[in-house]
Structure 1
């Protein structure tokens, strides 16, 4: 703008624009550029840190979920974990068996399992082996459940098992009662079978201990699925124990009918 034009605008009431040097314009432009860099640098750093945080998160573990979704996990029986060193829930039987206190071990077969005895069963002392096997009737995991049930049965089949069993009979009552009052159906069935075996072995020597089992048997006999099984065991007790047994059974289970009716 020419000096004469500026003077004319001033006289008309229009203020003149201040002069801006080239140096000041360059400073303003440079300042704006630096501000732009500072404004955008913080969000970029935050975004990078968020990405790094996502990468640091541990991956989702799906192996546990997938393990229980396999059909084999539902079909196979409960099995002891060989890598689990916890002893929190182990019974007396499992501890003794792990330490080699039971002179037998499980032999896996293609069709069924069996026991291999390191000592002939007829030479095995019933105290404490038979008592420990009775404790194992409450086991719910493999192989303890099978070893306890099968070992108990095989010891009662040896010659002179009646006298050996009568000698330790008071020590067998509590483990048998615990099995018969257990909430697990398999454990209860193990207790039923063991009670029938002891009755066949000891005969009327079991009569003085019968009341320890009758309340548990009466309770389960009220269930439809166990009515026949419990009745069969009661009949075995009566047949093996004689007329005195019937009186004892009737005192706790009045609805029981004698096999000699």
Structure 2
């Protein structure tokens, strides 16, 4: 028999649970989350190459598994060796998803771990500890979902013109990196509504929006980046007459454009195929080019030189 009190609920240690159920009653305890959004701690690290900094060369004794086996090489010809790229029938749990399958002459496939070479494209941590989620679960945001027949909308409990944009707009921008419902829908649609109706109040709040935008882009999540790019395009166009928002963003290109420079070549190459997803605007490379063009058109005379500094492959679209 176990000692008395060992299985007592009052004395059992309570671990933090991240609910993340996707419902409006989600009570995620964000104070226990210690992961930094967009952090690099969880990325695979490659060993240091000493030959890159000196004339030394790191050598080591090879094991039998590192030599080419009989029947697997090209045999003196340019014909590549036949390798089965299909995953094994019963994959090992200890093998990472980024692995390659080697096949010998007896068709015995064995997965081998391979570290990714391009760590700049890997997704960073995106913990559910946004300010939007915290304020929404406390009931401090004047929004709720209005379920329509075709599309859902936001029912504002207070007129948008009466809102304090210095307080609410950065909170909604911080929720752009949410990927769960209803937080993702409420934050994105709330940003569009506030920019459309209260466009004159956006310019003084631009410095407070940079950190949420940078945090969302640093997650390197393709869906989050696409969402932020569409919001940025609407942001610089929200005041068509004065064009002050685009000029106010120019000093903050250093925080926004580096991630765009990494993913600018991420275009879907289908050959002669048809991209049926163009209506949803999910191609990251095209979205980045559209965003940079909007930055230049609405950013004033100093926009192009600053864009060119961080994105060298960009060319001007304004005809002089």
Q: TM-score, normalised by structure 1?
A: 0.65
Choose which of 76, 84, 87 in structure 1 pairs with 2:29.
87
Instruction: Provide the C-alpha distance between the structure 2 equivalents of 1:81 and 1:124, rounded to a whole number of angstroms.
Output: 26
Once the two structures are superposed, the pairs formed by residues 7-46 of structure 1 within 5 Å of their partners are none
Instruction: Provide the C-alpha distance between the structure 2 equivalents of 1:258 and 1:192, rounded to a whole number of angstroms.
Output: 19
Runs of 4+ in 1 over 3 A off after TM superposition: 81-86
Choose which of 123, 134, 143 in structure 1 pairs with 2:182.
143
Q: Higher RCO, 1 or 2 (CA under 8 Å, sep at least 6)?
A: 2
Checking the alignment, whether the CA contact within 8 Å between 2:176 and 2:227 is kept in structure 1 is yes
Query: Does 2:134 match 1:192?
Result: no
Choose which of 237, 243, 249 in structure 2 pairs with 1:206.
249
Instruction: Provide the C-alpha distance between the structure 2 equivalents of 1:134 and 1:82, rounded to a whole number of angstroms.
Output: 19
Instruction: Provide the C-alpha distance between the structure 1 equivalents of 2:170 and 2:210, rounded to a whole number of angstroms.
Output: 10
Q: TM-score, normalised by structure 2?
A: 0.54
Q: CA RMSD, aligned part only?
A: 1.8
Q: How many residues align?
A: 182
* Larger Rg over CA atoms: 1
Once the two structures are superposed, the pairs formed by residues 72-111 of structure 1 within 5 Å of their partners are 80-81=22-23, 85-88=27-30, 89-111=128-150
The 3 A distance-change label for structure 1 pair 207 and 154 is same
Checking the alignment, whether the CA contact within 8 Å between 2:27 and 2:137 is kept in structure 1 is no
Which stretches in structure 1 are left out of the alignment for 5+ residues? Answer: 1-77
> Cα offset for 1:203?
2.5
Once the two structures are superposed, the pairs formed by residues 39-188 of structure 1 within 5 Å of their partners are 80-81=22-23, 85-88=27-30, 89-159=128-198, 161-162=199-200, 164-188=201-225
Query: Which residue in 1 is equivalent to 2:309?
Result: 251
Checking the alignment, whether the CA contact within 8 Å between 2:237 and 2:298 is kept in structure 1 is yes
Checking the alignment, whether the CA contact within 8 Å between 2:247 and 2:298 is kept in structure 1 is yes
Q: Residues 5-42 of structure 1, C-alpha deviation per residue, up to 9 Å, x if partnerless?
A: xxxxxxxxxxxxxxxxxxxxxxxxxxxxxxxxxxxxxx
> Cα offset for 1:243?
2.3
SS, match of residue 105 in structure 1: strand
Checking the alignment, whether the CA contact within 8 Å between 1:134 and 1:175 is kept in structure 2 is yes
